[in-house]
Structure 1
Amino acid sequence: MAKIADAKVVTTDVFEMGGIPWKSLNLETSAPSSPPTTLLIFTPTVPAAYTVIVFYHGFFIPPSYYTQLLAHIASHGFIVVAPQLFRNGLPMFGSDEIKYAGKVVDWLVTGLQPLLPENVEAKLKKVVLSGHSKGGKTAFSMALGYAKTTLKFSALIIGIDPVGRLSMCKATESPPQILTGVPRSLNLKVPVAVIGTGLGPEKANIFFPPCAPDGANHVEFFNESKPPKANFVAADYGHMDMLDDVTPGIFGTVLAKCSCKNGKGPRKLMRETVGGLAVAFLRAQLDGDYKDFDAILDNPGIAPARLDDVEYIPA
């Protein structure tokens, strides 16, 4: 396992809620700023300039199901913009999804700043891409240039159990088909962090296939990425365990809890782990502050959820 620095740091506060006050905004397409799709925004309220993270949700999962996770990240000093990539109540696929994902990024240039609290500035020179499940593949696709945007991307946090297709069969992958099966084949020019789950490749029952099948899950995304790249696996948790404790609606009460194998521990520990890993990775890659990231690499046991396959490969 590669290390970034020689200093041994054994503690970190990234797994706890940060001390920066924040608020959330629900923005509809009919709003004065005319976003291309419905947005859920988390922003600090303390005057300062903050990095912007665009977060893409998983299949059939509304952004509101990630409220506790995204709030955790925002409380450490980040603006999070979570678009809802649905049309007529159904998730978008392929070129439509990528097109709207790109439109959201371009909307940031003029649409985001007027919505923020007084003296809170959105830093748009380097925008971060992130996503869960199918949204992880969307973030990768964006970074690979499948949507032309005016903003540059700086780092990826695709951990949140990225999924490229429904099975090992390449025919099940909707466009763009980005997974090749070849190590380091993804032509990414940004640092990558992949946070997978140990139970994602397992079936919850006989009625549903695995939500993060072998050959198309976090393992493949990490292997096909080029350094610098980081890998973490929450061994005892499943594909949906980073969602809120309460996820209303048919999908939230039935499918999200029955279609994927879930861990037996509290979801709170999984959310804290994912949020903390995201914050530590971003501080290291964007600000050159490796204290928290090194602490986790040196002692993965400080994370609330048990981590396996902890690895960092520098450039």
Structure 2
Amino acid sequence: METRLVFLLAALLATALLEYKPVLPTPASEADHSVAGVFETGNFHPIQSDVGTASSCSPPRSLLIVRPEEKGTYPVILFHHGTGCQNSWYTDVFKFISSHGYIVVAPQLYGLMPPSGQDELDLAAEVANWLPSGLRCVLPEDIEGDMHNLALAGHSRGGYIAFALALGLADVSLDVDFSALIGVDPVAGTSKTNQMEPKILNYESCSFNFSIPVAIIGTGLGNKSAFPILPQTCAPDGVSHTEIFNECKPPCSHFVTSDYGHMDVLDDDIGPIGELARAMCKGSRRGVSRDPMRRTVGGVSVAFLEAFFKGNYTDYNKILQKSNYFAPTTLDPVQNKSEGTSSSSLSAMSMPATLDWHIDEL
């Protein structure tokens, strides 16, 4: 009898265990759609167009424009390509950002051979001055660019151009005001002793003479050589994202995609010349998708602009607090300079002081 009872109890316990379904933590994508959505394609439908210098709208340089199909008024991002790169190599990132309700304007400032830093900077200033009247010319009647929310951005040498424009170093007087700045693995030269001209770095903390908010997205492999026998790197120490972040004033944030390289932000299909350029830089391991890198760049950019253009700080705060819970890539380090603190203070994975109002939204 006791044997039967023990057997019956064991059978009931086994059945209960089989039917028991533990309550597991909800994944980030289900727990918080707003934050996960920053790193997923948005609700707008991006349309891409090319505008040549011979068009009736006469931009100073040919442009790639990516904007939402839906009618409305959208913030504008002026994006500068890297050394020897084509603006079309960034299409995936542009479409991702545009799908969240932004217009991206990307000039092709030169071909394969870059001009001097000053000449490129002056060309970039001419394009910026064209925007207030020229952008209206190339957009449909029911779509407008919001010139009160105009962001500067750039990758590699284009990141240097964006910072130099913000610093007012162009010989061409600017007729526009920029409201935010994004650097994607910006590079200011080939070494600390060989900066681009005009120089932007003086190696003093918080020395940049502008007050607009800044987001810098660096790469962990940018300062590594693609070839063990050669010392050259695509984002050398001394002139890369780390030093540029150090010279920014608050508010400024710094995100490093530790497992990706300098050219991993580009599209997959960039042709033979693009692949040759990509091969010169240390990148992610063979077989590893570059899509998480592009979504990280796009998502951080969108969250940053939503915070400082639209006052919606929720997503940006959460990325600063728990970046590796939400972001598609490992971000290490994440640093933030907060307004209201000493200009040299850094807080890793911290909330900006100016955003403390919104801590209840976490």
Q: TM-score range by the shorter chain?
A: over 0.9
Q: How does 1:7-156 map to 2 (within 5 A)?
A: 11-86=35-110, 89-147=112-170, 148-156=173-181
Contact 2:218 2:256 in 1 (8 A): yes
Q: Distance in 1 between matches of 2:113 and 2:148?
A: 33
Is 2:263 the counterpart of 1:240? yes
Q: Distance in 1 between matches of 2:137 and 2:81?
A: 24
In structure 1, the partner of 2:240 is: 217
Is 2:193 the counterpart of 1:193? no
Unmatched segments (≥5 aa) in structure 1: 1-7
Cα distance, 1:208 vs. partner? 6.1
In structure 1, the partner of 2:317 is: 294
Q: Distance in 2 between matches of 1:284 and 1:17?
A: 18
Q: Distance in 2 between matches of 1:274 and 1:309?
A: 15
Given candidates 305, 315, 319, the residue that maps to 1:282 is 305
Name the SS of the counterpart of 1:19 in structure 2.
coil
Give the RMSD, CA atoms, in angstroms: 1.5
Q: How does 1:162-177 map to 2 (within 5 A)?
A: 162-169=186-193, 172-177=194-199
Cα distance, 1:207 vs. partner? 4.1
Q: Distance in 1 between matches of 2:137 and 2:69?
A: 14
The structure having more radius of gyration, on CA atoms, is 2
Which residue identity is paired with 1:259? M
Q: Distance in 2 between matches of 1:136 and 1:196?
A: 11
Q: Distance in 1 between matches of 2:177 and 2:318?
A: 29
Q: Distance in 2 between matches of 1:255 and 1:290?
A: 37
Percent identical among aligned pairs is 44
Name the SS of the counterpart of 2:162 in structure 1.
helix
Contact 2:195 2:239 in 1 (8 A): no
Report the CA distance shift for 1:150/1:281 in structure 2 as closer, same or farther (over 3 A).
same
Which residue identity is paired with 1:200? G
Name the SS of the counterpart of 1:305 in structure 2.
coil
Cα distance, 1:312 vs. partner? 2.1
Q: Distance in 2 between matches of 1:85 and 1:278?
A: 22
Q: Distance in 1 between matches of 2:231 and 2:131?
A: 38
Which structure carries more helix by proportion? Answer: 2
Q: Deviations over 1:260-293 (max 9, x none)?
A: 0001231101000000000000001111101110
Q: Distance in 2 between matches of 1:157 and 1:138?
A: 11
Name the SS of the counterpart of 1:184 in structure 2.
coil
Name the SS of the counterpart of 1:236 in structure 2.
coil
Which residue identity is paired with 1:261? K
Which residue identity is paired with 1:177? K
Unmatched segments (≥5 aa) in structure 2: 1-30, 340-362
Contact 1:45 1:117 in 2 (8 A): no
Which residue identity is paired with 1:50? Y
Contact 1:85 1:92 in 2 (8 A): no
Q: Distance in 2 between matches of 1:303 and 1:32?
A: 42
Q: Distance in 2 between matches of 1:98 and 1:254?
A: 26
Is 2:275 the counterpart of 1:253? yes
Contact 1:127 1:155 in 2 (8 A): yes
Q: Deviations over 1:154-211 (max 9, x none)?
A: 00011x1000110122xx2221111111111111221111100000010000346110
Contact 1:208 1:259 in 2 (8 A): no
Q: Distance in 2 between matches of 1:231 and 1:174?
A: 22
In structure 2, the partner of 1:3 is: none
Larger relative contact order (Cα-Cα within 8 Å, sequence gap ≥ 6): 1
Contact 1:12 1:295 in 2 (8 A): no
